[in-house]
Amino acid sequence: MAIPERVTVVPERWFSGFKFWNLSLPGGVKAIEDRAFEGAEIHSIVLPEGLEHIGFRAFFGVKELCEIRIPDSVRFIDAHALVLNDLRKIEVGSGNEHYCSLRGVLFDKGRKTLIKYPQLMEEGVYCVPDTVETIADYAFCRAKIGKMILPKGLKTIGLGAF
């Protein structure tokens, strides 16, 4: 499917339930609104540089998508954007000023908040970095972890984090 270059916003529920093999969003897309891809089946997606906003449940329940790369330009990712999907790895552009990833896990830039551990990433033991003070809502929802080691400085655990 070809999305016109003039599209700047992926509207709410626009692709909800659709099936895509490869999807490349046009370079002009600045925002993915709430639930835009909820329940879709996407094997591969390219998020463009220039994208700034990923809304509530934008990729909720997306099947088959194993990996996602967050561009440098993204300023906001809703804590519920990447819940209940088939992700095994989340990457963030090295120039992103707001987010980063460490071994496939999504954090805020200062690594004080762990935002999302990919649901299908399998580890026997996961050590949450010592810098983490907050574990976001649904961060480890349905994650396949045998054992987890939490840092001593952890202050807040979000709703449904585990």
- Over residues 89-122, the pLDDT tens digits come to 999 999 999 999 999 999 999 999 999 999 888 8
Return the SS3 of 41.
Answer: strand
- Residue 3 counted as domain residue: no
- Residue 115 counted as domain residue: yes
Q: For tokens 């805020």, what's the residue?
A: 108
- pTM equals 0.91
- Residue 85 counted as domain residue: yes
Cα separation, 131 vs 114, whole angstroms: 10
- Residue 125 counted as domain residue: yes
Give the CATH number, domain containing residue 104. Answer: 3.80.10.10
Which residues in the chain come in under a pLDDT of 70?
A: 1-2
The 8-class DSSP code of residue 97 comes to S
Degrees to nearest 5, angle at CA 55 with 89 and 42: 45
- Over residues 79-89, the pLDDT tens digits come to 899 988 889 99
Q: Domain limits at 149?
A: 9-157
Domain tally for the chain?
A: 1
Residue 159 CB coordination number (10 Å): 9
- Residue 162 counted as domain residue: no
- Residue 4 counted as domain residue: no
Residues 6+ apart with CB under 8 A from 62: 37, 38, 39, 40, 41, 42, 85, 86
- Single-letter residue type at 105: V
pLDDT score for 17: 83
